[in-house]
Amino acid sequence: MPEIAPSILAADFANLQRDIEMLNKSEAAWIHVDIMDGMFVPNISFGLPVCSAANQHARKPLDVHLMIEQPDRYLAAFVKAGAALITVHYEACLHLHSTIQRIKELGVKAGVALNPHTPVELLKDILADLDLVLVMSVNPGFGGQKFIENTYKKVLRLDGMRKAQGLNFMIEVDGGVNLANTPKLVEAGVDLLVAGSSVFSSADPLATIRQLRQAAQV
């Protein structure tokens, strides 16, 4: 069943505990944590202390999306800070296979994220090692951007590769996800939908998470 991972990038940082407690009560399956270093992406979000603080209150697993250069330097620290799943960017890893093995050795799930211009076919020889592939549906770095329509085709091709290789990694989509595009994303093969602004900018975030989950039952 497709699941929802609200992104705390769009939460009220001055009321982070309150927002995480709202997510605990919600139908969200994961809490998505966006880490940006101002180098791999042109924005700085927050780092390890905020991830740890979120983990102290979260009763859902943390899905940590590392938008940072040379992520190997911080893998162990993010596991200590509560990550249950760590996703690194294909474009940030010179030795991706080695990075994925290190994440798994640390005892958490391993994912790879692809920027909008990066073809899914480049993952062919590493798919069997992955728990998740994150298809970026905006250019990483900022919340609240417009969904890129080519994402559907990428997800369809990735789902085709998954079936052809008999694998069961999850497909996650991140950026501009809302009630309107959720059904088509699920039909294309998405298992996990990240939603930041569509949840936290809504008048009733709990209801929006429930509606996103319903929209994903196609």
For residues 176 and 107, what is the distance between their CA atoms, to the nearest angstrom? 31
Active site includes 34? yes
**Nearest partner of 7 among 180, 141, 152, judged by Cα:** 141
Binding of Fe ion at residue 63 (CB under 5 A)? no
Contact 209, 18 (CB under 8 A): no
- Active-site residue (options: 19, 131, 174, 191): 174
d(CA 104, CA 22): 30
Q: How many CA atoms lie within 13 A of 123 on its CB side?
A: 34
Total residue count of the chain as it appears in this document: 218
Residue 9 per-residue DSSP state? G
**What is the nearest approach in angstroms of ligand 5RP to the Cβ of residue 128?**
25
> Rule CB under 5 A: is residue 89 a binding residue for Fe ion?
no
Site for ligand 5RP in 61-90 (CB under 6 A): 65, 67
Window contacting ligand 5RP (CB under 6 A); options: 70-78, 103-111, 137-145, 155-163 = 137-145
Out of 55, 174, 189, 208, the only residue in the binding site for Fe ion (CB under 5 A) is 174
Shortest separation between residue 161's beta carbon and ligand 5RP, angstroms: 23
Is residue 144 a contact residue for ligand 5RP (CB under 6 A)? Answer: yes
Q: Which amino acids are annotated catalytic?
A: 34, 174
